[in-house]
Amino acid sequence: MRSVYLNGAFVAENEASISIFDRGFMFADGIYEVTAVLQGKLVDFDLHTARLARSLREMSLELPLDAAQLLAIHRELIERNQLTEGLVYMQVTRGVEDRNFFYPPAGSPLTVVLYTQAKTVLDSPLAKRGMNIIGLPDLRWGRSDIKTTQLLYACMAKEQARAQGADDAWLVKDGWVTEGTSNNAFIITRDGAVVTRELSRALLPGTTRAALIELVKEHDLRFEERAYTLEEAANAAEAFITSSTSFIYPVVSIDGQLVADGKPGKLTQRLRQLYIDHALAVLV
């Protein structure tokens, strides 16, 4: 049985409980982070704590834990659960108060939860065969740049993709791809440029996205940060997604149309290996 962290204590998962009046439960008034674990250590932890700090600011939440304390909690959870490969999930909500749309008074206790999940990260079948995706309208709220727990539409879109025999969906707004349901979307043009959507309130500033962009630049590969359509993506040389626990997965078809020859592209595979090398080099 897993050990989880809840509001300052490590407890067995079946003993952890949260009030029905928690604002995360009532309003999705909370944020989260997911950090990959390889060899029992954390990947890109500094990027995750930086994004966590940004989400906290955007939501006017003040977490009484600094980066060093968060690292110690993550490490303790990994040790207690003997996790070698997988993830640590962290969630912060605005805490407990009788149902009220207004925020509780400043300084009110937050709810802080962390737990581990075992998952195959390096040897994933999807990394080998590639993903089949569909395009769907982006019907999320207007602050998709904040990593909130408000993920209902992402669930709905993933379920619609599964119903159509696909692995996931890319979301489209005003004719342009924003991102995947839980990942950032990339294409590689026929002349070799790595392309992803520019950051805005329409999409999440992914940690893997950020690290990969730096790797692309370090290896003198062409990079373009711009909007593109689903049609351009389907006709690209390659396509792929990035996320914290998938790293990089090739996309081999979009709305039933094969991307190139319908097999994981060579540059995508190279980028995945570059990111894995990076991840193993920055473990903490």
Q: How sure is the predictor about 50, in pLDDT bands with cuts at 50, 70 and 90? A: very high
User: Could you tell me the two tokens for 122?
Assistant: 């390096």
Residue 24 CA to residue 95 CA, distance in Å, equals 7
Over range 241-268, report the average pLDDT: 98
In the chain, the domains with their CATH numbers are: 3-118 (3.30.470.10), 125-281 (3.20.10.10)
Question: What pLDDT score was predicted for residue 198?
Answer: 98
Question: What pLDDT score was predicted for residue 128?
Answer: 95
Residues 10-27: tens digit of each pLDDT: 999 999 999 999 999 999
Alpha carbon of 87 to those of 113, 139, 206, 262: distances in Å?
14, 28, 16, 30
By annotation, the residues acting in catalysis are 147
Share the mean pLDDT of the chain. Answer: 97
Q: Under a CB-based contact definition with an 8 Å cutoff, are residues 248 and 212 in contact?
A: yes
Q: Under a CB-based contact definition with an 8 Å cutoff, are residues 183 and 129 in contact?
A: no
* Degrees, nearest 5: CA angle 67-72-78: 125
Alpha carbon of 233 to those of 104, 131, 228, 238: distances in Å?
45, 13, 7, 8
Q: Under a CB-based contact definition with an 8 Å cutoff, are residues 140 and 31 in contact?
A: no
**Amino acid identity, position 277:** D
Question: Which stretch of DSSP H or E encloses residue 231?
Answer: helix 230-234
Q: How sure is the predictor about 129, in pLDDT bands with cuts at 50, 70 and 90? A: very high
Alpha carbon of 23 to those of 95, 101, 149, 222, 273: distances in Å?
6, 9, 11, 45, 41
User: Could you tell me the two tokens for 103?
Assistant: 């925020």
E-assigned strand segments in 13-130? 30-38, 41-42, 86-93, 111-118
Residue labelled with tokens 């395009």: 135
Alpha carbon of 93 to those of 13, 167, 280: distances in Å?
18, 30, 31
DSSP sequence for 182-196: SSEEEEE-TTS-EEE
